[in-house]
């Protein structure tokens, strides 16, 4: 009888062990399957090395077609490891993005096919287009992805003929840096002379009037009015005491230009002058959503909304 009880206890113990092992293995299999289908990782670096910006993640979320990246690096290049980490991060956020490394020295025919002239460069293929990246960082790679996904390139015109700030000027008053930024965002840039053509081109996504020193002619102002009436977008950057004859046009949209210069004592704290206001807080608007960087406005004039907006105009 004691032997029988001992066998029963051993059998019960053995059965429990088997059941526990089976349950543990089943849970382990389920966890592995979940991890494979829904990988998760945590960026523990202080600099956020493996975390992409919200803008980059938004662009990656919009990619529904395969994008293949060819990374042309020599096998011995020190930068190859950093490039792999960056590409791994992109593929983690969207498995439609894939990459492969190609050594131009070992596969020169592939390098010639993609017209590779420098090491440490990328070529992106997708949406029946190609984009090259010469500097391997998040900004450059994301801009290339954005260009691939764009079905239509928007064109921005800059008005000329009145002493405006020019896109070629690299000085402190020039717009060369602005042009580079727009190029990175895949915008086309063109000059616009309304003295030589009667209307704003139909392909204009926006028209910029950047600091004119002389007044516009009446036909030019009429062309801008007509463009606005067709739901056009106009950016006016008028320096103090120079309204370029556009004061009436501005007032027709419920805004008042004042002949003054804004003085901001706080700007001295940041090492600037009183006539260079600093802005650190922004209103609730789609344009400034998520924007928390201080901006400076040297020699800016004040612009105020009218007490009552004109009919059909909404001031934001």
pLDDT reported for residue 5:
55
Is-contact 234 207, C-beta < 8 A? yes
pLDDT in tens, the chain (316 residues): 455 555 555 555 555 555 566 555 666 555 555 445 545 455 545 555 568 999 999 999 999 999 999 999 999 998 999 999 999 999 999 999 999 999 999 999 999 999 898 899 999 999 988 888 988 999 999 989 988 888 878 899 999 999 999 888 988 888 999 998 888 777 899 999 999 999 999 999 999 999 999 999 999 999 999 999 999 999 999 999 999 999 999 999 999 999 999 998 877 766 668 888 888 888 887 778 777 788 888 889 999 998 888 888 888 7
Q: Please tell me the distance from the alpha carbon of residue 118 to that of residue 132, in angstroms, as a whole number.
A: 11
Q: How many angstroms separate the Cα of 20 from the Cα of each of 8, 9, 15, 26, 154?
A: 18, 16, 8, 10, 63
What Rg value do the Cα atoms of the chain yield, rounded?
30
Q: Please tell me the distance from the alpha carbon of residue 236 to that of residue 281, in angstroms, as a whole number.
A: 22
Is-contact 131 180, C-beta < 8 A? no
- For the record, the structure tokens of 81 come out as 């490891």
- For the record, the structure tokens of 238 come out as 């008028």
233 phi/psi in degrees, rounded to 5: -115, 125
Q: What are the structural domains, with CATH classification, of the chain?
A: 54-149 (3.40.30.10), 152-257 (3.40.50.880), 259-307 (no CATH)
The DSSP code for 136 is -
Q: Please tell me the distance from the alpha carbon of residue 99 to that of residue 76, in angstroms, as a whole number.
A: 18
- For the record, the structure tokens of 197 come out as 């053509």
What is the four-CA torsion angle of 112, 114, 117, 121, rounded to 10 degrees?
A: -140
- For the record, the structure tokens of 278 come out as 């600093």
Token match 């105020």: residue? Answer: 304
- For the record, the structure tokens of 146 come out as 């954005």
Q: Please tell me the distance from the alpha carbon of residue 248 to that of residue 257, in angstroms, as a whole number.
A: 9
29 phi/psi in degrees, rounded to 5: -65, -45
- Sequence-separated (6 or more) residues with CB below 8 Å from residue 137: 86
Is-contact 199 192, C-beta < 8 A? no
- For the record, the structure tokens of 263 come out as 């003085």
What is the four-CA torsion angle of 145, 234, 281, 289, rounded to 10 degrees?
A: -40
Q: Is 87 exposed, middle or buried (0-12, 13-18, 19+ CB in 10 A)?
A: buried
pLDDT reported for residue 35:
47
Q: Please tell me the distance from the alpha carbon of residue 132 to that of residue 153, in angstroms, as a whole number.
A: 17
Token match 């008053």: residue? Answer: 173
């Amino acid at each position: 009888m004691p032997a029988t009880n001992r066998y029963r206890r051993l059998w019960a113990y053995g059965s429990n062990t088997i059941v526990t092992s089976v349950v543990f293995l089943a849970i382990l299999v389920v966890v592995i399957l979940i991890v494979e289908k829904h990988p998760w990782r945590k960026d523990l670096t202080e600099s956020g090395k493996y975390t992409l910006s919200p803008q980059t993640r938004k662009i990656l979320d919009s990619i529904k077609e395969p994008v293949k990246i060819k990374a042309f690096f020599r096998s011995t290049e020190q930068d190859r490891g950093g490039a792999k980490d960056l590409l791994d991060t992109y593929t983690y956020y969207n498995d439609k993005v894939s990459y492969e490394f190609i050594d131009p020295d070992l596969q020169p025919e592939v390098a010639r096919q993609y017209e590779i002239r420098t090491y440490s460069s990328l070529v992106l293929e997708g949406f029946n287009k190609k984009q090259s990246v010469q500097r391997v960082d998040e900004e450059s790679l994301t801009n290339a992805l954005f260009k691939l996904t764009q079905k239509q390139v928007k064109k921005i015109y800059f008005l000329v003929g009145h002493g405006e700030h020019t896109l070629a000027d690299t000085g402190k008053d020039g717009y060369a840096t602005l042009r580079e930024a727009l190029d990175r965002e895949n915008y086309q840039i063109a000059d616009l002379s309304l003295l030589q053509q009667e209307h704003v081109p139909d392909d204009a996504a926006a028209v910029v009037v950047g600091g004119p020193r002389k007044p516009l002619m009446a036909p030019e102002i009429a062309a801008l009015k007509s463009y606005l009436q067709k739901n056009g977008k106009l950016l006016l950057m008028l320096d103090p005491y120079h309204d370029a004859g556009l004061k009436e046009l501005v007032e027709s949209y419920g805004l008042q230009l004042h002949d003054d210069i804004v003085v901001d004592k706080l700007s001295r704290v940041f090492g600037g002058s009183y006539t260079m206001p600093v802005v650190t807080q922004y209103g609730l608007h789609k344009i400034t959503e998520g924007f928390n960087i201080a901006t400076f406005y040297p020699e800016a004039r004040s612009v105020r909304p009218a007490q009552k907006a004109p009919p059909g105009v909404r001031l934001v």
